[in-house]
Structure 1
Amino acid sequence: RLEQMMGVLLSIWSLIANICGCTDQIGYRMSKTCCTRYSKKPIPSENIKGYREQVTLEHCRINAIIFYTTNNHEICTSPNDDWVKEALSSLSSKLKMMSQNTDGKKM
């Protein structure tokens, strides 16, 4: 009887997690849950449309850079990987260029 109840509870939890997108998939982040592991595969820079930082000072156990991709994935990466640093630098350069192009223009 206890095993049946545990099975039912596990099934309900799994259903809720899938509906809200809270499950952690290999290297991907869904919803606002924490990254728990890093994707090792570099993302082509043309597929990155933005990022956010996850820090351990919050409620998450690892530091991470979460890249938002053009196909609407959120990919957890290590902030120490060279390709991640290069991608962040590239995004920063693009942002500076965009802000320089709009400086002084009236809207």
Structure 2
Amino acid sequence: MAAPRLALTVFVLMLAVITLTEGLRGTGPRRCCSRFNEKPPSKDRVVSYVRTSQRCPTPAVIFKTVANRQLCARPSDPRVKELISYLDAKPVPGETSNL
């Protein structure tokens, strides 16, 4: 009678440990890019950008356009770097200045 209880207890403990460790690992990255646009969008079409997670296999920048589309681009591309600099320097609507 004790052997089945012991086996059940060990099984439940193993299941709890597996569940806990899987939960602590977290989910994978939200979005990664597997294909890239050869030409980044024009400055007047882009609203914002985000960099993909470091857990993605290939680094990328995701641009969000005024049409609410998301386009993947290579962060090493000089045109992408220029567009990121432009967006970083652009004032945020509703942001007040202390000048």
> Partners in 1 of 2:63 and 2:80 — Cα distance?
9
Quote the Cα distance in structure 2 between the aligned partners of 1:67 and 1:42: 8
Higher alpha-carbon Rg: 2
One-letter code of the match for 2:65? T
- 2:35 aligns with 37
Q: Which amino acid aligns with 1:39?
A: N
1:1-107 correspondence runs (5 A): 32-55=30-53, 57-58=54-55, 60-95=56-91, 98=92, 102-104=96-98
Q: Percent identity?
A: 32
CA offset at residue 73 of structure 1? Answer: 0.6
Question: Deviations 1:10-44 (Å, cap 9, x if unpaired)?
Answer: xxxxxxxxxxxxxxxxxxxxxx4421121102211
Stretches of structure 2 lacking an aligned partner (at least 5 in a row): 1-29
- Please list every run of 5 or more consecutive structure 1 residues that lacks an aligned counterpart in the other structure: 1-31
2:76 and 2:98 mapped to 1: Cα distance?
37
Structure 1-normalised TM-score?
Answer: 0.57
Query: What is the aligned length?
Result: 69
TM-score calculated relative to the size of structure 2: 0.61
Q: Encode CA deviations 1:31-70: one digit per residue, 9 max, x unaligned.
A: x442112110221100000010013x32x21100000001
Aligned partners of 2:98 and 2:78: how far apart in 1?
Answer: 35
Aligned amino acid, residue 33 of structure 2: C
